[in-house]
Each structure stands twice: as C-alpha cells, then as structure tokens.
Amino acid sequence: MFITRRHFLTMLAASPLVMSPLGETQAAPSRVIVIGAGIAGLAAARALAEKGIAVTILEGRERIGGRIYTSHTWPDIPLDLGASWIHGQHKNPITDLAKAAQAQRVVTSYDSAALYIDPRLSKLGVKSANEAAIAKLVTQALNQANQLEQDISVKAAVDRVLTKPVSPSYQAQLDFYLNSKFEQEYSGSIATLSAQTMEDGKSFTGTDALFLQGYEQITNYLAQGLNIQLGQTVTKVAYGAKGVSVTTQHQTHTADYAIITVPLGVLKRNTIQFSPVLSRDKQIAIQRLGMGLLNKTYLRFPKVFWPKNIDWHEYLSPDKGRWVEWVSFAKIGAPVLLGFHAADTARTVENWTDQALVADAMKVLKTMFGNNIPQPVGAQITRWAKDPFAYGSYSFNAVGSTLQDRKNLAKPSGRLFWAGEATSSSYQGTVHGAYLSGVEAAKALLKLR
C-alpha cells in the first residue's frame, strides 16, 4: 500500500509511545516495512503479522525466497539452485517448518563418499587423500595461528608450518583438503578466511536432509497471507525519530520501522543509500566480513552410470578447486549429478560459458567414471557472484573480522532493525541462521509495544 506523507504523519501522531530498553521514547510499531523476501524477511514478517502489525515486504526480484530458489526448468525434477540442505535436523527450526509444511526430505551423509584420483596423480603413486596426516598438520597450523596477536588467513597459517617445499602430489592432497573442508563449507578463499575466527559459530546436530520437491516449500509456507510486493528494488532508506521512508524505483513507502534483510554482498556494493549514513561500527562490519561464493552445476544424464548408493563423489586432482565435490541425486531416482565450485575457482569459472563449463565437467567425469559415459541431456548452472540481489553466496569470517562485527551488523540503527544470515552470530551462512535472525528482529521490535 502506498501511503501519502500526510497519512504517514497522522499515523505517527496516533502511535502510542513506549520506553525502549535504551530509555529513549519510541513509538510502538504499527506499520513495518521488511526489505527482502528471503527466509529472514519472511520469518520476521510472519512473526510481526501474527501479532497484528501491518507489514509490507518489499522484494527486488520477481520471486520470493532469495538465496532459496527451486528451479522447475526440468518439471519432473525440481532442483535447488541456492540452499539445498537442512544442516543438522535435530532441534533445527527448519525441521519444524518442514514438518508443518509437510515437505518430504531425503537424508544424505558425508560418510557416504567415494574418492576418485586424477590419472596424473595416480602416476605419481597417489592412492588416497592422505586425510588423517593432513588434518593433523592443518589443526596444528590453526592452533598456532590462534596464539598469534594478529589474525592471519588459513593459507598463511598453513604456510607457516610447512617448513620445507612439498612435492606436487602432497600439494594436491593439501589443496584438496583445504578446498573440501574449508572453501566449500565457508565459501571464502583460504587466502582470505580467518584462521582465528573462521570456525566461530554453532551448528545443530543430527542428519543433513534435502527437499524432494525443493526448499521453496519452506519459503512458500512462510509467505502465506503476507503482503509481499515483488519487483521493488530499494534504492534509498531514510530513517529518523519519527519513522522510516523507503524508496524503490517505483515509489516511496513509509512506516514506523523497517527491517533490512538484504545480503551482505548487496550492502558491500552500497546500492542502497542510507540517510543518515550507517554507524561506523556497521560500516566496518560490512567491510570486514567476507562475502563468499559457492556455485552449482547440475548435469542431467539419460541414465545413472555412477554407483547409485553413494551420496558424495570426490575428485582429487592437481587442478586446485576444480570439480572437487559431486553429489549424486540417484537416491531420489534422478539421473542428476551436482558439481560444486567454491571461492576463487568459482569466481574464475563464473566467467566461462555454459558450454565450456559442461565440456570441462565431462572431461573430469570421464576420468572418474570412464570414457563411455553418455553426454548430459541438460545443465543448470548458477552464477551467484553476478546476481545483483546477492553478489555472492553467503558470508564468511574474513581475516580480521570478529564475532563483534556480526553483532554490530545485527544491532538496530534507530528505527532500522537488521536480519539475514550475515547478522547471525551463531549460525551464519545458513538457512536456519537467517530464519532465526528474522525471528529475533521481530521479537526486538515487538518489545517496543
């Protein structure tokens, strides 16, 4: 709904005033604008709407879900181009939502894995990923880095403990370990991931599960009955003692409060002008935290030609970060393989054409499964770094960033409240972290009633 300035002022005059926890007099929220219809924005809007608050969500895209995006390009196999898994189903709020939405899930396990070794490494005598020994070295490197006064990157930490040059085969095993354990997990390059704070944060226990009909079942469930305006790209947010005004390419909307849930990548690009400018703490947090990259390549084949009962197919090669992890969808009856690229390699291959990427994937799959495998009948490829509503996949702790940066990002700025995965101190980079941050922002606003 478009509100005129006069209506806005009348509405503000009518708002009951309460004391905020900071001792300032603040109007109780009766109208709230949420920027972004990802899981954080939907969670916040739902919690507010349930308490009778008039909420409008302004979403730049022509769809809801943000980094939860189920593709129906292949109508018989819905595929998630953004988030796929509930990581740790036990006590995870997304598990409760999945149950409420009656969304069917399939468990996958990192223990169900096979390793394939590139022929160039086999020729050098490499037979395994040498994981136990490399894990020991990397743990030692990170422990030593933790004792340093100043933060360094994971790469710098590992380089410090490698006292003499290593063989090409050892280097490949080390790169494989660092890519699969850190870059694919946190989405940042080991050259920028913080050795001291990278692993800050918590996780839920239990199994990991995929959605048979797509993650969008969760966002669609949350969105029911909410007032969501699509195609509204916010360019300016003005806020003051009396309320907020939010400008999109079409119009200006006003409300008592706003909740900002746009991704860290968008905040880093300064595509939204804040007036007054954001606090220094917030600006430092936006600059210091990293926005990482994880991209997906789904390949559909005429039939399953790989072992059906193995979830993860891992590829150890001298080409750093190249097609290191593959997930099989054979378990759900789909002849589909999903290949991942993370961090620097993902940035490089984002610039390749679909054709070049598929050709490269096929070269690798042939070394893994033999020359006689069929050509794919289709491909779906993501390029999250180029997405103007995300500019990356999810946030990570870059060198020099601390937990306090996330807390500063989450802190209200007067009438602006903040949510989204990057604001989560406990579960950053995840769907559940984003969801919980939205619920928290709504709770903080409701306390003003």
Ligand X SMILES: Cc1cc2nc3c(=O)[nH]c(=O)nc-3n(C[C@H](O)[C@H](O)[C@H](O)COP(=O)(O)OP(=O)(O)OC[C@H]3O[C@@H](n4cnc5c(N)ncnc54)[C@H](O)[C@@H]3O)c2cc1C
Least separation in angstroms between CB 57 and ligand X = 9
For residues 316 to 335, the per-residue mask of contacts with ligand X, x marking binding by CB under 6 A and - elsewhere, is --------------------
Least separation in angstroms between CB 376 and ligand X = 20
Rounded Cα distance between 34 and 11, Å, is: 18
Q: Which of 165, 153, 180 is nearest to 327 (CA)?
A: 180
Nearer to ligand X, 231 or 307 (CB): 231
Nearer to ligand X, 74 or 170 (CB): 74
Q: Does 442 bind ligand X (CB under 6 A)?
A: no
One of 39, 152, 337, 342 touching ligand X (CB under 6 A): 39
One of 188, 290, 376, 420 touching ligand X (CB under 6 A): 420
One of 84, 173, 189, 247 touching ligand X (CB under 6 A): 84
Q: Does 430 bind ligand X (CB under 6 A)?
A: yes
Interface region with ligand X, contact rule CB under 6 A, candidates 12-20, 63-71, 135-143, 402-410: 63-71
- Residue 148, CA atoms < 13 Å, CB-side half-sphere: 19
Interface region with ligand X, contact rule CB under 6 A, candidates 124-132, 169-177, 317-325, 383-391: 383-391
For residues 276 to 315, the per-residue mask of contacts with ligand X, x marking binding by CB under 6 A and - elsewhere, is ------------------x-x-------------------
For 23, 93, 175, 290, 334, the CA distances from 293, given in Å and listed in that order, are: 41, 25, 17, 10, 26
Rounded Cα distance between 211 and 347, Å, is: 27
Nearer to ligand X, 342 or 448 (CB): 342
Residue 47 in contact with residue 442, Cβ under 8 Å? Answer: yes
Token output for 386: 């180029």
Residue indicated by tokens 């495998």: 373
Least separation in angstroms between CB 40 and ligand X = 3
Q: Does 41 bind ligand X (CB under 6 A)?
A: yes
Q: Does 105 bind ligand X (CB under 6 A)?
A: no
Interface region with ligand X, contact rule CB under 6 A, candidates 104-112, 117-125, 151-159, 382-390: 382-390
Q: Which of 164, 114, 136, 79 is nearest to 311 (CA)?
A: 114
For 114, 198, 302, 393, the CA distances from 82, given in Å and listed in that order, are: 24, 22, 24, 8
Rounded Cα distance between 319 and 408, Å, is: 39
Least separation in angstroms between CB 241 and ligand X = 24
Residue indicated by tokens 């220094």: 280
One of 27, 32, 36, 188 touching ligand X (CB under 6 A): 36
One of 323, 326, 384, 391 touching ligand X (CB under 6 A): 384
CA angle 428, 35, 278 (to 5 degrees): 75
Nearer to ligand X, 236 or 366 (CB): 236
Angle, in degrees to the nearest 10, between helices 431-446 and 39-49 = 30
By CB under 6 A, the count of residues binding ligand X is: 42
Q: Which of 340, 110, 80, 294 is nearest to 208 (CA)?
A: 110
Q: Does 436 bind ligand X (CB under 6 A)?
A: no
Cβ neighbours of residue 314 closer than 8 Å, sequence gap 6 or more: 113, 114, 115, 116, 129, 176, 180, 324, 325, 326
Rounded Cα distance between 84 and 262, Å, is: 20
Q: Does 406 bind ligand X (CB under 6 A)?
A: no
Nearer to ligand X, 35 or 121 (CB): 35
Nearer to ligand X, 20 or 229 (CB): 229
For residues 213 to 252, the per-residue mask of contacts with ligand X, x marking binding by CB under 6 A and - elsewhere, is --------------------xx------------------
Instruction: Please name the helix (run of DSSP H) or strand (run of DSSP E) that holds residue 23, with its range, or none.
Output: none
Q: Which of 178, 161, 172 is nearest to 343 (CA)?
A: 178
Rounded Cα distance between 386 and 228, Å, is: 25
One of 29, 33, 59, 398 touching ligand X (CB under 6 A): 59
Please give the residue ranges that form the binding site for ligand X (CB under 6 A).
35-41, 58-61, 66-68, 82-85, 87, 233-234, 261-263, 266, 271-272, 294, 296, 382, 384, 389-390, 393-394, 420-421, 429-432, 434
